[in-house]
């Protein structure tokens, strides 16, 4: 079949199970994982009085015994659950500095929390750590339409920051499925990737500067308005991806890109992963500078999205699907390049069927098929989720390998993700939790990832649930150096304990 064209021009310890549940509460993390609480102090009335005097009692939230703090203690996937009885909601960098200075002297552990959209248990307490909610630090400080630099506080919701940037013809260089609730500071803390790393690169390249509060309360001003600033060590990179274990990010400066006036999306079906690789190579060759996203969706992942959300795919089901997006400034030019590319792929037999559009509404409907897969799989029942990077030639190999390894214990084994940056989201679902299935998956999946020279975490971080598996991607020497950095910046270990390093 040839392409359906919808174009219009113009303005238009070994871990225990990690369970992802559609409903219900998980067991307390400390009990479920048998975590021994470190020798931290316990919050008392004097501590509460200090925090009340610092911020005002309305910003000091205590658990009155009716699960008042449940939304802070449980991650949004309901996979881990802390037991904190105190949430602090500071409104300034100075208040965070005073909080950390006090907690460091008292040896009180803290857990920084942004939008709480993480997938590895990094943003909720493991035991009874004090939660520092960043939600009040949500101001956009400045967006310069000439330089493209946006500066903001850490709790700016990604979607809101992007909307402000678009008012000036710019776009924030990161786009996630959780953009309506995730905080830009949390994105930096996990070095989140998202849908368009292929186009914009990762945050280490886009972030120009940060402001960080260290464990002892020191405010470290690393803000910058320059892409070129070679004045000593680039300390900002220590905190991007550190998951709140080295300091708390309070402000940032990020280089935004010019918003594209012409966007096209193609959704195509393919019969083999070999054809997927050939199509990706041709996309880079023929689309070049306008290629902005290249997503892979296997048959089972698309099936989950379509059925769970009652969606309709614009083409029939194939073993593999690719969502290819272009972003440029000339609709007719971009359309010509895209159609030439697609015709080439169809003539070669790699692409069997597909559709292409530049209509905003239809683009959004196609993106829904991809962006709703994560929650569609949660609706399947119990879902074990894995976020890994693999060499492109071996990108999909692990899916059938794992499917064969778990056999009939699993209801569904599927893979989708960011082909453009080698990031596979691998999911295993079952009707109800199975300890036997869990033990078949882990550590097998990480051992196989290491065998393929991949990474056990592509963009979700290490957090709490992956800390035992860091050894599969980092050498003992590298991990030892990480420990030394942690000891230097947080000698009392109060910042986000039990995370990243085992």
Q: Is the pLDDT of residue 1 over 70?
A: no
* Structural contact between residues 489 and 246, judged by C-beta atoms closer than 8 angstroms: yes
Dist. CA 117–CA 182, nearest whole Å:
6
Q: For 175-225, how does the pLDDT look when each residue is reduced to its tens digit (9 = 90+)?
A: 988 899 999 999 999 999 989 999 999 999 999 999 999 999 999 999 999
Q: For 363-403, how does the pLDDT look when each residue is reduced to its tens digit (9 = 90+)?
A: 999 999 999 999 999 898 889 999 999 999 999 999 999 99
SS3 345: helix
Band of the pLDDT at 304, cuts 50, 70, 90? very high
**pTM of the prediction?**
0.92
Q: For 104-114, how does the pLDDT look when each residue is reduced to its tens digit (9 = 90+)?
A: 999 999 999 99
Dist. CA 455–CA 389, nearest whole Å:
5
Q: H-type helices in 139-202, by residue range?
A: 158-166, 184-190, 197-200
Q: Is the pLDDT of residue 324 over 70?
A: yes
Q: Is the pLDDT of residue 7 over 60?
A: no
Band of the pLDDT at 4, cuts 50, 70, 90? low
Q: What is the mean pLDDT of residues 286-295?
A: 97
Question: In Å, how far from its chain's centre is CA 26?
Answer: 21
Max CA pair span of the chain? 75
Query: Domains of the chain, with CATH numbers?
Result: 12-133 (3.30.43.10), 140-258 (3.30.465.10), 262-452 (3.30.70.2190)
Q: Is the pLDDT of residue 16 over 60?
A: no
Question: In Å, how far from its chain's centre is CA 466?
Answer: 14
Q: What is the pLDDT of residue 22?
A: 43
> How many Cβ atoms are within 10 Å of 230's Cβ, its own excluded?
6
Q: Which of 157, 165, 162, 90 is closest to 130 using CA atoms? A: 90
> How many Cβ atoms are within 10 Å of 87's Cβ, its own excluded?
23
Q: For 156-177, how does the pLDDT look when each residue is reduced to its tens digit (9 = 90+)?
A: 999 999 999 999 999 999 998 8
Kind and range of the H or E run holding 485 = helix 476-489
Dist. CA 49–CA 56, nearest whole Å:
10
Dist. CA 114–CA 129, nearest whole Å:
15
């Amino acid at each position: 079949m040839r392409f359906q064209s919808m174009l219009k021009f113009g303005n238009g310890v070994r871990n225990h199970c990690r369970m992802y549940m559609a409903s219900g509460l998980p067991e307390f993390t400390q009990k479920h994982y048998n975590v021994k609480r470190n020798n931290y102090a316990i919050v008392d009335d004097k501590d509460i009085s200090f925090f009340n005097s610092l911020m005002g009692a309305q910003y000091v939230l205590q658990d009155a015994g009716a699960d008042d703090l449940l939304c802070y203690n449980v991650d949004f996937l309901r996979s881990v659950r802390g037991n904190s009885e105190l949430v602090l909601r500071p409104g300034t960098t100075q208040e965070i500095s005073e909080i950390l200075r006090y907690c460091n002297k008292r040896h009180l552990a803290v857990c920084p929390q942004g939008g709480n959209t993480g997938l590895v248990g990094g943003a909720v307490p493991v035991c009874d750590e004090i939660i520092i909610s960043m939600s009040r630090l949500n101001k956009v400080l400045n967006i310069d339409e000439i330089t493209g630099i946006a500066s903001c506080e850490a709790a700016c919701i990604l979607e809101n920051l992007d909307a402000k940037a678009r008012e000036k013809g710019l776009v924030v260089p990161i786009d996630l499925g959780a953009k309506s609730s995730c905080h830009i500071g949390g994105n930096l803390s996990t070095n989140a990737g998202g849908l368009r790393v292929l186009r914009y690169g990762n945050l280490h390249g886009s972030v120009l500067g940060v402001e960080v509060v260290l464990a002892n309360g020191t405010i470290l001003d690393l803000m910058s308005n320059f892409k070129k600033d070679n004045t000593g060590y680039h300390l900002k990179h220590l905190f991007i991806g550190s998951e709140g274990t080295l300091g708390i990010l309070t402000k940032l400066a990020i280089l935004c890109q010019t918003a594209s006036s012409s966007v096209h999306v193609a959704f195509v079906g393919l019969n083999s992963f070999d054809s997927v690789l050939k199509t990706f190579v041709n996309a880079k060759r023929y689309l070049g500078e306008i290629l902005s996203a290249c997503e892979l969706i296997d048959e089972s992942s698309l099936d989950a999205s379509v059925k769970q959300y009652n969606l309709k795919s614009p083409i029939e089901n194939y073993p593999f699907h690719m969502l290819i997006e272009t972003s440029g400034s000339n609709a007719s030019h971009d359309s010509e390049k895209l159609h030439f590319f697609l015709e080439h792929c169809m003539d070669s037999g790699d692409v069997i069927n597909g559709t292409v559009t530049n209509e905003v509404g239809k683009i959004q409907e196609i993106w829904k098929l991809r962006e709703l897969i994560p929650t569609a799989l949660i609706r399947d029942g119990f879902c074990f989720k894995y976020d890994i990077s693999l060499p492109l030639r071996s990108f999909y190999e692990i899916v059938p390998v794992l499917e064969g390894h778990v056999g009939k214990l699993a209801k569904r084994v599927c893979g989708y993700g960011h082909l453009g940056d080698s990031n596979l989201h691998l999911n295993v679902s079952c009707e109800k939790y199975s300890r036997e299935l869990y033990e078949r998956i882990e550590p097998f999946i990480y051992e196989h990832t290491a065998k393929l020279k991949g990474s056990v975490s592509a963009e979700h971080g290490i957090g709490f649930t992956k800390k035992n598996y860091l050894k599969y991607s980092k050498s003992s020497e590298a991990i030892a150096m990480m420990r030394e950095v942690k000891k230097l910046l947080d000698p009392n270990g109060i910042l986000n304990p039990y995370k990243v390093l085992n």
